[in-house]
A and B are shown apart, each in its own frame.
Chain A
Protein backbone atom coordinates (compact mmCIF):
# COMPACT_ATOMS: atom_id res chain seq x y z
CA UNK A 1 0.00 0.00 0.00
CA UNK A 2 1.70 3.17 -1.17
CA UNK A 3 -0.49 5.24 1.16
CA UNK A 4 0.58 3.45 4.32
CA UNK A 5 2.06 5.58 7.08
CA UNK A 6 4.47 3.93 9.46
CA UNK A 7 3.77 6.19 12.45
CA UNK A 8 0.77 8.05 13.86
CA UNK A 9 3.06 11.01 14.58
CA UNK A 10 5.87 12.87 12.89
CA UNK A 11 3.70 14.38 10.16
CA UNK A 12 2.70 11.11 8.50
CA UNK A 13 -1.00 11.75 9.12
CA UNK A 14 -2.73 14.91 7.89
CA UNK A 15 -5.95 16.82 8.47
CA UNK A 16 -7.19 17.19 4.90
CA UNK A 17 -10.66 18.54 5.57
CA UNK A 18 -11.97 20.85 8.29
CA UNK A 19 -15.12 22.88 8.64
CA UNK A 20 -17.70 24.16 11.06
CA UNK A 21 -21.43 24.33 10.39
CA UNK A 22 -22.54 27.18 8.12
CA UNK A 23 -23.87 29.04 11.15
CA UNK A 24 -22.83 28.84 14.78
CA UNK A 25 -24.31 30.65 17.78
CA UNK A 26 -28.09 30.50 17.64
CA UNK A 27 -29.23 27.78 15.24
CA UNK A 28 -32.72 26.74 16.37
CA UNK A 29 -33.58 25.19 12.98
CA UNK A 30 -31.11 22.30 13.17
CA UNK A 31 -31.31 19.06 15.13
CA UNK A 32 -28.14 17.77 16.74
CA UNK A 33 -27.55 15.11 14.09
CA UNK A 34 -28.19 17.69 11.37
CA UNK A 35 -25.43 19.83 12.85
CA UNK A 36 -23.09 16.81 12.75
CA UNK A 37 -24.06 16.05 9.15
CA UNK A 38 -23.78 19.64 7.95
CA UNK A 39 -20.31 19.99 9.44
CA UNK A 40 -19.32 16.57 8.06
CA UNK A 41 -20.47 17.37 4.53
CA UNK A 42 -18.73 20.76 4.68
CA UNK A 43 -15.49 19.13 5.86
CA UNK A 44 -15.69 16.44 3.15
CA UNK A 45 -16.30 19.10 0.50
CA UNK A 46 -13.31 20.99 1.90
CA UNK A 47 -11.25 17.82 1.41
CA UNK A 48 -12.67 17.23 -2.06
CA UNK A 49 -14.12 13.92 -0.86
CA UNK A 50 -17.57 12.40 -0.47
CA UNK A 51 -19.07 10.09 2.16
CA UNK A 52 -18.21 7.16 -0.13
CA UNK A 53 -14.52 7.89 0.44
CA UNK A 54 -14.79 7.60 4.23
CA UNK A 55 -14.06 4.27 5.93
CA UNK A 56 -13.66 5.43 9.53
CA UNK A 57 -16.02 7.45 11.73
CA UNK A 58 -15.50 8.93 15.19
CA UNK A 59 -17.84 11.04 17.25
CA UNK A 60 -18.88 11.84 20.84
CA UNK A 61 -22.45 12.33 21.99
CA UNK A 62 -24.33 10.43 19.32
CA UNK A 63 -22.95 6.99 18.52
CA UNK A 64 -20.64 6.64 15.52
CA UNK A 65 -23.07 4.32 13.71
CA UNK A 66 -25.81 6.94 14.02
CA UNK A 67 -23.56 9.41 12.23
CA UNK A 68 -22.28 6.95 9.63
CA UNK A 69 -25.75 5.69 8.74
CA UNK A 70 -27.22 9.20 8.56
CA UNK A 71 -24.47 10.17 6.09
CA UNK A 72 -24.57 6.91 4.11
CA UNK A 73 -21.08 5.86 5.14
CA UNK A 74 -20.06 2.19 5.46
CA UNK A 75 -17.32 2.30 8.10
CA UNK A 76 -14.78 -0.39 8.82
CA UNK A 77 -13.45 1.52 11.84
CA UNK A 78 -15.49 3.22 14.59
CA UNK A 79 -14.52 5.28 17.61
CA UNK A 80 -17.14 6.43 20.11
CA UNK A 81 -14.69 7.66 22.73
CA UNK A 82 -16.62 10.06 24.96
CA UNK A 83 -14.56 12.01 27.47
CA UNK A 84 -16.45 15.28 27.21
CA UNK A 85 -15.14 18.35 25.42
CA UNK A 86 -11.70 16.94 24.56
CA UNK A 87 -13.15 13.81 22.92
CA UNK A 88 -12.19 15.17 19.50
CA UNK A 89 -8.52 15.53 20.41
CA UNK A 90 -8.58 11.86 21.38
CA UNK A 91 -10.42 11.00 18.14
CA UNK A 92 -7.67 12.68 16.09
CA UNK A 93 -5.06 10.74 18.01
CA UNK A 94 -6.92 7.43 17.70
CA UNK A 95 -7.64 8.03 14.02
CA UNK A 96 -3.98 8.72 13.34
CA UNK A 97 -3.03 5.47 15.05
CA UNK A 98 -5.67 3.56 13.11
CA UNK A 99 -4.62 5.00 9.76
CA UNK A 100 -0.95 4.29 10.52
CA UNK A 101 -1.88 0.72 11.49
CA UNK A 102 -3.89 0.20 8.31
CA UNK A 103 -7.21 -0.24 10.13
CA UNK A 104 -8.73 2.44 7.92
CA UNK A 105 -7.66 5.03 5.37
CA UNK A 106 -9.91 8.10 5.68
CA UNK A 107 -11.50 9.10 8.98
CA UNK A 108 -14.34 11.54 9.54
CA UNK A 109 -14.65 13.09 13.04
CA UNK A 110 -17.86 14.97 13.80
CA UNK A 111 -19.28 17.23 16.47
CA UNK A 112 -22.65 18.95 16.75
CA UNK A 113 -24.57 20.24 19.72
CA UNK A 114 -27.67 22.30 20.30
CA UNK A 115 -26.30 23.78 23.50
CA UNK A 116 -28.30 26.98 23.35
CA UNK A 117 -31.55 26.20 21.50
CA UNK A 118 -31.61 22.68 22.97
CA UNK A 119 -33.39 21.23 19.94
CA UNK A 120 -34.45 17.72 20.95
CA UNK A 121 -32.25 17.77 24.05
CA UNK A 122 -33.47 16.04 27.18
CA UNK A 123 -31.71 16.28 30.52
CA UNK A 124 -30.91 12.79 31.72
CA UNK A 125 -31.10 12.78 35.52
CA UNK A 126 -27.79 11.66 36.98
CA UNK A 127 -28.21 8.46 38.96
CA UNK A 128 -28.42 9.21 42.70
CA UNK A 129 -26.52 5.95 43.31
CA UNK A 130 -23.57 6.85 41.07
CA UNK A 131 -20.39 8.06 42.74
CA UNK A 132 -21.13 11.62 41.66
CA UNK A 133 -24.78 11.23 42.60
CA UNK A 134 -23.79 10.29 46.15
CA UNK A 135 -20.81 12.52 46.80
CA UNK A 136 -21.08 15.68 44.65
CA UNK A 137 -24.53 16.36 43.20
CA UNK A 138 -26.29 16.52 46.60
CA UNK A 139 -24.15 19.57 47.38
CA UNK A 140 -25.40 21.47 44.34
CA UNK A 141 -22.17 20.63 42.51
CA UNK A 142 -24.09 19.72 39.39
CA UNK A 143 -23.63 22.34 36.67
CA UNK A 144 -20.08 23.17 35.58
CA UNK A 145 -20.14 26.73 36.98
CA UNK A 146 -20.49 25.31 40.51
CA UNK A 147 -18.19 22.32 39.98
CA UNK A 148 -15.46 22.95 37.42
CA UNK A 149 -14.74 26.17 39.31
CA UNK A 150 -14.34 24.56 42.74
CA UNK A 151 -10.51 24.41 42.90
CA UNK A 152 -9.96 27.96 41.62
CA UNK A 153 -9.85 29.88 44.91
CA UNK A 154 -7.06 27.51 45.97
CA UNK A 155 -5.18 27.96 42.70
CA UNK A 156 -5.31 31.75 43.08
CA UNK A 157 -4.41 31.89 46.77
CA UNK A 158 -1.44 29.53 46.42
CA UNK A 159 0.04 31.87 43.82
CA UNK A 160 -0.88 35.20 45.37
CA UNK A 161 -3.17 35.77 42.41
CA UNK A 162 -6.67 37.31 42.42
CA UNK A 163 -9.92 37.49 40.46
CA UNK A 164 -8.28 40.21 38.38
CA UNK A 165 -6.14 37.51 36.77
CA UNK A 166 -9.27 35.60 35.78
CA UNK A 167 -10.64 38.80 34.26
CA UNK A 168 -7.39 39.35 32.33
CA UNK A 169 -8.06 36.07 30.51
CA UNK A 170 -11.52 37.20 29.41
CA UNK A 171 -10.31 40.68 28.38
CA UNK A 172 -7.43 39.25 26.31
CA UNK A 173 -9.65 36.78 24.51
CA UNK A 174 -12.31 39.35 23.77
CA UNK A 175 -9.63 41.32 21.92
CA UNK A 176 -9.40 38.43 19.47
CA UNK A 177 -13.17 38.08 19.20
CA UNK A 178 -13.86 41.74 18.43
CA UNK A 179 -12.60 41.27 14.86
CA UNK A 180 -14.06 37.78 14.34
CA UNK A 181 -17.47 37.99 12.61
CA UNK A 182 -18.44 34.49 13.78
CA UNK A 183 -17.72 35.15 17.45
CA UNK A 184 -20.75 35.12 19.74
CA UNK A 185 -19.53 38.02 21.91
CA UNK A 186 -17.70 40.83 20.08
CA UNK A 187 -18.16 43.94 22.24
CA UNK A 188 -14.93 45.13 23.84
CA UNK A 189 -15.01 44.56 27.59
CA UNK A 190 -13.09 45.97 30.55
CA UNK A 191 -11.76 44.42 33.70
CA UNK A 192 -14.14 46.54 35.79
CA UNK A 193 -17.22 45.46 33.81
CA UNK A 194 -16.29 41.84 34.36
CA UNK A 195 -15.47 42.10 38.05
CA UNK A 196 -18.46 44.31 38.96
CA UNK A 197 -21.03 42.10 37.23
CA UNK A 198 -23.38 39.88 39.26
CA UNK A 199 -21.63 36.64 40.19
CA UNK A 200 -22.79 33.41 38.60
CA UNK A 201 -20.68 31.44 41.05
CA UNK A 202 -18.15 33.50 42.98
CA UNK A 203 -15.40 34.19 41.96
CA UNK A 204 -16.94 33.83 38.45
CA UNK A 205 -19.16 36.40 36.75
CA UNK A 206 -20.88 35.79 33.43
CA UNK A 207 -17.98 36.87 31.20
CA UNK A 208 -15.66 34.51 33.07
CA UNK A 209 -17.90 31.63 31.97
CA UNK A 210 -18.20 30.35 28.40
CA UNK A 211 -20.92 31.42 26.03
CA UNK A 212 -23.65 28.85 25.39
CA UNK A 213 -24.24 28.19 21.71
CA UNK A 214 -25.38 25.85 18.94
CA UNK A 215 -23.10 24.55 16.20
CA UNK A 216 -20.85 21.82 14.95
CA UNK A 217 -17.55 21.01 13.32
CA UNK A 218 -15.89 18.13 11.53
CA UNK A 219 -12.45 16.94 10.47
CA UNK A 220 -11.19 14.54 7.78
CA UNK A 221 -7.89 12.73 8.30
CA UNK A 222 -5.83 10.53 6.05
CA UNK A 223 -2.19 9.66 5.44
CA UNK A 224 0.12 12.50 4.43
CA UNK A 225 1.14 10.53 1.34
CA UNK A 226 -2.48 10.45 0.19
CA UNK A 227 -3.04 14.10 1.16
CA UNK A 228 -0.83 15.32 -1.68
CA UNK A 229 -3.48 14.14 -4.17
CA UNK A 230 -6.36 15.88 -2.40
CA UNK A 231 -7.94 19.31 -2.70
CA UNK A 232 -6.08 20.78 0.27
CA UNK A 233 -2.60 19.68 -0.88
CA UNK A 234 -1.32 23.28 -0.84
CA UNK A 235 -2.52 23.92 2.74
CA UNK A 236 -1.56 20.78 4.62
CA UNK A 237 -1.96 20.30 8.37
CA UNK A 238 0.16 17.51 9.82
CA UNK A 239 -0.07 15.79 13.18
CA UNK A 240 3.37 16.02 14.76
CA UNK A 241 2.54 14.62 18.19
CA UNK A 242 -0.26 14.01 20.64
CA UNK A 243 -1.16 12.82 24.10
CA UNK A 244 -4.17 11.90 26.19
CA UNK A 245 -4.67 11.45 29.92
CA UNK A 246 -7.32 11.11 32.61
CA UNK A 247 -7.57 12.32 36.16
CA UNK A 248 -10.58 12.41 38.48
CA UNK A 249 -14.22 11.99 37.47
CA UNK A 250 -15.07 13.99 40.62
CA UNK A 251 -13.51 17.43 40.81
CA UNK A 252 -13.10 17.00 44.59
CA UNK A 253 -10.76 14.08 43.98
CA UNK A 254 -8.09 15.93 41.97
CA UNK A 255 -4.69 15.06 43.33
CA UNK A 256 -3.75 18.76 43.50
CA UNK A 257 -6.46 21.40 43.14
CA UNK A 258 -3.87 23.88 41.93
CA UNK A 259 -2.69 21.82 38.96
CA UNK A 260 -4.37 19.47 36.51
CA UNK A 261 -2.41 16.23 36.28
CA UNK A 262 -4.02 15.25 32.96
CA UNK A 263 -2.89 18.55 31.39
CA UNK A 264 0.65 17.81 32.55
CA UNK A 265 0.71 14.22 31.33
CA UNK A 266 -1.08 14.67 27.98
CA UNK A 267 0.97 17.72 27.00
CA UNK A 268 4.26 16.10 28.01
CA UNK A 269 3.48 13.13 25.77
CA UNK A 270 2.53 15.45 22.91
CA UNK A 271 5.83 17.32 23.17
CA UNK A 272 7.79 14.07 23.44
CA UNK A 273 6.10 12.41 20.47
CA UNK A 274 6.34 15.54 18.32
CA UNK A 275 9.98 16.09 19.18
CA UNK A 276 9.42 19.83 19.59
CA UNK A 277 9.79 22.17 22.56
CA UNK A 278 7.85 25.14 23.87
CA UNK A 279 9.92 27.62 21.87
CA UNK A 280 8.78 25.92 18.65
CA UNK A 281 5.10 26.69 19.36
CA UNK A 282 3.76 29.71 17.44
CA UNK A 283 0.11 29.42 18.39
CA UNK A 284 -1.76 27.95 21.34
CA UNK A 285 -5.34 26.89 21.94
CA UNK A 286 -6.31 26.03 25.54
CA UNK A 287 -9.88 24.87 26.03
CA UNK A 288 -11.55 27.60 28.06
CA UNK A 289 -14.96 26.65 29.35
CA UNK A 290 -14.09 29.04 32.19
CA UNK A 291 -11.44 31.72 32.58
CA UNK A 292 -9.26 29.67 34.90
CA UNK A 293 -8.41 27.00 32.33
CA UNK A 294 -5.93 29.07 30.30
CA UNK A 295 -4.17 29.86 33.61
CA UNK A 296 -3.92 26.18 34.52
CA UNK A 297 -3.02 25.41 30.90
CA UNK A 298 -0.14 27.87 30.57
CA UNK A 299 1.41 26.53 33.78
CA UNK A 300 0.62 22.83 33.45
CA UNK A 301 1.76 22.70 29.82
CA UNK A 302 4.97 24.41 30.88
CA UNK A 303 4.73 27.60 28.82
CA UNK A 304 5.27 29.63 32.01
CA UNK A 305 6.45 28.81 35.52
CA UNK A 306 4.22 28.23 38.49
CA UNK A 307 2.34 31.39 39.43
CA UNK A 308 3.35 33.27 36.27
CA UNK A 309 0.26 32.61 34.16
CA UNK A 310 -1.79 35.60 35.30
CA UNK A 311 0.93 38.18 34.75
CA UNK A 312 1.87 36.57 31.44
CA UNK A 313 -1.63 37.23 30.15
CA UNK A 314 -1.86 40.66 31.81
CA UNK A 315 1.37 41.68 30.06
CA UNK A 316 -0.32 41.00 26.72
CA UNK A 317 1.74 38.04 25.53
CA UNK A 318 -1.35 36.05 24.48
CA UNK A 319 -3.19 38.97 22.83
CA UNK A 320 -3.04 40.04 19.16
CA UNK A 321 0.60 40.91 18.49
CA UNK A 322 1.82 38.96 21.52
CA UNK A 323 4.55 36.35 21.43
CA UNK A 324 2.27 33.41 22.28
CA UNK A 325 -1.09 34.08 20.59
CA UNK A 326 -3.66 32.04 22.50
CA UNK A 327 -7.32 31.23 21.84
CA UNK A 328 -7.25 33.36 18.72
CA UNK A 329 -10.89 32.71 17.78
CA UNK A 330 -11.96 34.31 21.09
CA UNK A 331 -12.20 30.91 22.76
CA UNK A 332 -15.10 29.37 24.57
CA UNK A 333 -15.45 32.61 26.50
CA UNK A 334 -16.21 34.70 23.40
CA UNK A 335 -16.28 32.65 20.18
CA UNK A 336 -18.58 29.70 20.76
CA UNK A 337 -19.17 26.89 23.24
CA UNK A 338 -21.73 24.29 22.29
CA UNK A 339 -20.99 22.07 25.29
CA UNK A 340 -18.02 20.11 23.91
CA UNK A 341 -15.83 22.95 22.66
CA UNK A 342 -12.73 20.92 21.73
CA UNK A 343 -13.71 20.58 18.08
CA UNK A 344 -13.70 24.37 17.71
CA UNK A 345 -10.24 24.69 19.24
CA UNK A 346 -8.92 22.25 16.63
CA UNK A 347 -10.77 24.08 13.84
CA UNK A 348 -9.10 27.36 14.80
CA UNK A 349 -5.65 25.75 14.86
CA UNK A 350 -6.28 24.34 11.37
CA UNK A 351 -7.42 27.75 10.10
CA UNK A 352 -4.33 29.44 11.55
CA UNK A 353 -2.02 26.83 9.99
CA UNK A 354 -3.74 27.24 6.63
CA UNK A 355 -3.48 31.03 6.86
CA UNK A 356 -7.27 31.35 6.72
CA UNK A 357 -8.25 32.50 10.22
CA UNK A 358 -10.64 35.40 10.76
CA UNK A 359 -7.90 37.05 12.80
CA UNK A 360 -4.79 35.55 11.27
CA UNK A 361 -1.52 35.36 13.18
CA UNK A 362 1.34 35.91 10.72
CA UNK A 363 3.70 33.02 10.13
CA UNK A 364 2.15 30.25 12.23
CA UNK A 365 4.01 27.00 11.60
CA UNK A 366 3.30 24.97 14.73
CA UNK A 367 0.13 25.05 16.83
CA UNK A 368 -0.51 23.38 20.19
CA UNK A 369 -4.12 22.47 20.95
CA UNK A 370 -5.02 21.50 24.51
CA UNK A 371 -8.40 20.03 25.39
CA UNK A 372 -10.06 19.26 28.69
CA UNK A 373 -13.08 17.03 29.28
CA UNK A 374 -15.75 16.35 31.89
CA UNK A 375 -14.41 19.03 34.22
CA UNK A 376 -10.95 17.98 35.37
CA UNK A 377 -11.67 14.45 34.14
CA UNK A 378 -9.67 14.04 30.95
CA UNK A 379 -7.32 15.87 28.63
CA UNK A 380 -6.11 15.57 25.07
CA UNK A 381 -3.22 17.40 23.38
CA UNK A 382 -2.36 17.81 19.71
CA UNK A 383 0.65 19.42 18.07
CA UNK A 384 -0.13 20.35 14.48
CA UNK A 385 2.04 21.92 11.78
CA UNK A 386 1.87 23.06 8.17
CA UNK A 387 5.43 21.83 7.66
CA UNK A 388 6.19 18.13 7.38
CA UNK A 389 9.27 17.23 9.45
Chain B
Protein backbone atom coordinates (compact mmCIF):
# COMPACT_ATOMS: atom_id res chain seq x y z
CA UNK B 1 0.00 0.00 0.00
CA UNK B 2 1.21 3.45 -0.91
CA UNK B 3 1.57 5.79 2.03
CA UNK B 4 0.96 8.92 0.02
CA UNK B 5 -0.06 10.10 -3.41
CA UNK B 6 3.35 11.17 -4.66
CA UNK B 7 3.42 13.54 -7.61
CA UNK B 8 5.86 12.79 -10.42
CA UNK B 9 7.54 15.57 -12.38
CA UNK B 10 7.10 15.75 -16.14
CA UNK B 11 9.48 17.56 -18.54
CA UNK B 12 7.58 20.85 -18.48
CA UNK B 13 7.07 20.84 -14.70
CA UNK B 14 10.57 19.81 -13.55
CA UNK B 15 11.57 23.36 -12.57
CA UNK B 16 8.53 23.63 -10.29
CA UNK B 17 9.49 20.47 -8.38
CA UNK B 18 13.20 21.45 -8.23
CA UNK B 19 12.01 24.64 -6.53
CA UNK B 20 9.90 22.88 -3.95
CA UNK B 21 12.91 20.71 -2.99
CA UNK B 22 14.61 23.97 -1.96
CA UNK B 23 11.58 25.33 -0.13
CA UNK B 24 10.75 27.69 -2.99
CA UNK B 25 7.64 28.16 -5.10
CA UNK B 26 8.54 28.72 -8.76
CA UNK B 27 5.94 29.59 -11.36
CA UNK B 28 6.03 31.04 -14.86
CA UNK B 29 5.25 34.31 -16.55
CA UNK B 30 4.96 35.43 -20.12
CA UNK B 31 7.48 38.06 -21.20
CA UNK B 32 5.27 39.04 -24.14
CA UNK B 33 2.07 39.81 -22.24
CA UNK B 34 3.59 40.01 -18.73
CA UNK B 35 1.05 37.68 -17.19
CA UNK B 36 2.08 35.05 -14.65
CA UNK B 37 0.45 31.63 -15.00
CA UNK B 38 0.08 28.23 -13.42
CA UNK B 39 0.14 25.18 -14.02
CA UNK B 40 3.46 24.87 -15.84
CA UNK B 41 3.43 24.92 -19.64
CA UNK B 42 6.26 25.73 -22.07
CA UNK B 43 4.24 28.56 -23.68
CA UNK B 44 1.82 31.25 -22.54
CA UNK B 45 -1.80 29.99 -22.20
CA UNK B 46 -3.02 33.60 -22.52
CA UNK B 47 -1.26 34.83 -25.67
CA UNK B 48 0.43 31.67 -27.01
CA UNK B 49 3.91 33.23 -26.86
CA UNK B 50 6.94 30.96 -26.44
CA UNK B 51 8.79 33.76 -24.67
CA UNK B 52 8.15 32.64 -21.10
CA UNK B 53 10.32 32.49 -17.98
CA UNK B 54 10.33 30.92 -14.54
CA UNK B 55 10.45 33.09 -11.43
CA UNK B 56 10.22 32.55 -7.70
CA UNK B 57 6.81 33.49 -6.32
CA UNK B 58 6.58 35.32 -3.01
CA UNK B 59 4.79 32.41 -1.35
CA UNK B 60 2.07 34.76 -0.15
CA UNK B 61 -1.51 33.86 -1.02
CA UNK B 62 -5.11 34.23 0.09
CA UNK B 63 -7.79 31.62 0.65
CA UNK B 64 -10.34 31.71 -2.16
CA UNK B 65 -12.38 28.65 -1.17
CA UNK B 66 -12.07 25.34 0.64
CA UNK B 67 -13.74 22.03 1.43
CA UNK B 68 -13.06 19.92 4.52
CA UNK B 69 -12.95 16.28 3.50
CA UNK B 70 -14.05 13.92 6.25
CA UNK B 71 -13.32 10.89 4.14
CA UNK B 72 -9.73 10.06 3.32
CA UNK B 73 -8.50 8.09 0.37
CA UNK B 74 -7.60 4.72 1.89
CA UNK B 75 -3.87 4.44 2.48
CA UNK B 76 -3.11 7.90 1.17
CA UNK B 77 -1.94 11.14 2.74
CA UNK B 78 -3.57 13.46 3.71
CA UNK B 79 -5.50 11.66 6.44
CA UNK B 80 -9.08 12.80 7.01
CA UNK B 81 -10.24 15.27 8.08
CA UNK B 82 -8.19 17.52 5.84
CA UNK B 83 -8.74 20.84 4.14
CA UNK B 84 -8.52 21.08 0.35
CA UNK B 85 -7.88 24.73 -0.36
CA UNK B 86 -8.23 26.89 -3.44
CA UNK B 87 -5.58 29.58 -3.02
CA UNK B 88 -4.74 32.63 -5.07
CA UNK B 89 -1.07 33.51 -5.11
CA UNK B 90 -0.11 37.15 -4.56
CA UNK B 91 1.14 37.06 -8.17
CA UNK B 92 -2.35 36.13 -9.42
CA UNK B 93 -2.55 32.48 -10.46
CA UNK B 94 -4.66 30.08 -8.42
CA UNK B 95 -3.78 26.58 -7.32
CA UNK B 96 -5.25 23.73 -5.33
CA UNK B 97 -3.46 22.91 -2.11
CA UNK B 98 -3.98 21.88 1.50
CA UNK B 99 -4.54 24.29 4.34
CA UNK B 100 -2.36 23.28 7.30
CA UNK B 101 -1.58 24.76 10.70
CA UNK B 102 -5.23 25.43 11.41
CA UNK B 103 -7.96 23.15 12.77
CA UNK B 104 -10.06 21.54 9.98
CA UNK B 105 -13.09 23.36 11.31
CA UNK B 106 -15.14 26.07 9.55
CA UNK B 107 -14.99 28.14 12.78
CA UNK B 108 -11.28 28.67 12.17
CA UNK B 109 -11.21 29.03 8.41
CA UNK B 110 -12.11 32.39 6.92
CA UNK B 111 -12.22 33.12 3.22
CA UNK B 112 -9.62 35.62 2.04
CA UNK B 113 -7.40 34.89 5.06
CA UNK B 114 -3.74 35.60 4.21
CA UNK B 115 -1.65 32.49 3.73
CA UNK B 116 2.00 31.61 3.29
CA UNK B 117 3.48 28.62 1.53
CA UNK B 118 5.23 25.85 3.40
CA UNK B 119 6.34 22.43 2.21
CA UNK B 120 5.55 18.83 3.15
CA UNK B 121 7.55 15.75 2.23
CA UNK B 122 5.84 13.20 0.01
CA UNK B 123 8.36 10.44 -0.60
CA UNK B 124 11.26 12.09 -2.45
CA UNK B 125 9.12 15.06 -3.41
CA UNK B 126 8.25 18.27 -1.57
CA UNK B 127 4.65 19.44 -1.86
CA UNK B 128 3.67 23.10 -1.45
CA UNK B 129 0.88 23.58 1.10
CA UNK B 130 -0.36 26.75 2.77
CA UNK B 131 -0.72 27.93 6.37
CA UNK B 132 -2.17 31.09 7.86
CA UNK B 133 0.25 34.01 7.69
CA UNK B 134 1.97 34.48 11.06
CA UNK B 135 0.13 36.88 13.32
CA UNK B 136 -3.02 36.40 11.26
CA UNK B 137 -4.25 33.21 12.95
CA UNK B 138 -8.05 33.18 12.95
Contact = CB atoms under 8 A, between A and B. Distances in A.
Interface of A: 127-129, 131, 133-143, 145-147, 149-155, 157, 198-204, 250-253, 257
Among A131, A143, A150, A252, residue most surrounded by chain B Cβ atoms (within 10 Å): A252
B67 interface: yes
Contacts, number: 118
Contacts of A257: 64-65, 86
Interface in B64-90: 64-73, 76-78, 80, 82, 84-86
A154 B64 contact: yes
Contacts of A250: 39, 96
Contacts of A252: 86, 94-96
A139 B86 contact: no
21 contacts: A131-B39, A135-B7, A135-B96, A136-B96, A139-B78, A139-B85, A139-B129, A140-B78, A142-B73, A142-B76, A150-B65, A153-B65, A154-B64, A154-B111, A157-B111, A198-B70, A199-B68, A202-B67, A252-B95, A252-B96, A253-B39
Contact of A146 (B7, B9, B84): B84
Contacts of B82: 140
A201 B70 contact: yes
A307 B62 CA distance: 23
B40 to A, nearest CB: 9
Given A150-B66, A152-B67, A253 B94 contact: yes
3 tightest A-B CB contacts, nearest first = A252-B96, A154-B65, A146-B69
B5 A147 contact: no
A128 B127 CA distance: 13
Contact of A151 (B6, B7, B65, B76): B65
Contacts of B8: 127-129, 133-134
A154 B111 CA distance: 8
B6 to A, nearest CB: 6
A253 B4 CA distance: 24
B85 to A, nearest CB: 8
Interface range, B side: 35 or more
Given A131-B39, A133-B7, A202-B106, A150 B95 contact: no
B133 to A, nearest CB: 19
B111 A140 contact: no
Contacts of A138: 4-7, 122, 127
Nearest to A198: B70
Interface string B89-133: 000001111100000001000010000000000100001010000
A154 to B, nearest CB: 4
A257 B129 CA distance: 20
Interface in B1-57: 4-10, 13, 39
Given A129-B9, A140-B82, A253-B39, A135 B95 contact: yes
A165 B39 CA distance: 33
Contacts of B6: 128, 138
A9 B60 CA distance: 50
B91 to A, nearest CB: 15
A187 B6 CA distance: 42
A362 to B, nearest CB: 40
A251 B127 CA distance: 19
A133, A150, A198, A203 — most chain B CB neighbours (10 Å): A150
A133 B71 CA distance: 19
Contacts of B96: 135-136, 139, 141, 150, 250-252
Given A139-B98, A146-B69, 15 more contacts: A133-B8, A135-B96, A137-B5, A140-B69, A140-B72, A141-B96, A143-B71, A151-B65, A152-B65, A154-B64, A157-B111, A203-B106, A250-B96, A253-B39, A257-B64
B21 to A, nearest CB: 14
